[in-house]
Amino acid sequence: MTQPFTPTPRTKVQRLPDRGKYDKETVHAILDQGFVCHVGFVVEGQPFVIPTNYARIDEMLYIHGSSASRMLKTLTGGVSVCLTVTHVDGLVLARSAFHHSVNYRSVVALGVATLIEDPAEKMCALEAFTNHVMPGRWNDIRFPNEQELKATSVLALPLKEVSAKVRVGPPKDDAEDYSLPIWAGVLPLHTSSGEPINDPKLLPGLEVPLNVRAYLR
């Protein structure tokens, strides 16, 4: 059993604390199922929240983008960052408007990101990005060349100050509302993939790879 993350005053769930989760298994599972995060930071008093892709290797989160990106340039300067990941699992439809909710799983990670300059670690992170979004894709593609690597920045955020928050289950109505003749329950929501669409410039005779056809998140 791995040691859980230690809640801090900034990560301890205050509202509905029973939904707070600090074990690494829960946090890792939430992070590994998604690939889009929102990165929050402040520049000269102005807050920004930017969506981007991410990948996890052990206790490190990696984000990447253009070396000219304002976000990556800012974060390289040692700015505090808040990175969040959320999955919506269902709509919780209660008898009262007040008790409607959403079943969800979310992670908040706080810290300071650092620029990855070691070429081997940078390439490892880019492989993790690619395979995180599409498992097995890295071995099917052309690897980044020197010019592309120079044009790409990769930042690492250690998983140290982290918490998860999870809601599951049916609505929780007031006792007197359970006798109302109103349907209540949960509408599950799922992410599904469609039929792959060939690039119009695809060379003839190339089939859709099995890992693309079998994609499931």
Which CATH number describes the domain made up of 17-172+185-192? 2.30.110.10
Q: What is the maximum alpha-carbon separation in the chain?
A: 68
Check whether 34 has a pLDDT greater than 70. Answer: yes
Residues 83-99 pLDDT 10s: 999 999 999 999 999 99
- What is the band of 1 on the pLDDT scale with cuts at 50, 70, 90? low
Q: Stretch 48-67: mean pLDDT, rounded?
A: 95
Q: Residue 104: how many CB atoms within 10 A of its CB?
A: 18
Return d(Cα 160, Cα 59) in angstroms, integer. Answer: 8
Could you give the percent of the chain with pLDDT greater than 90?
91
The whole-model pTM stands at 0.92
Domain boundaries, the chain: 17-172+185-192
Residues 111-155 pLDDT 10s: 999 999 999 999 999 999 999 999 999 999 999 999 999 999 999
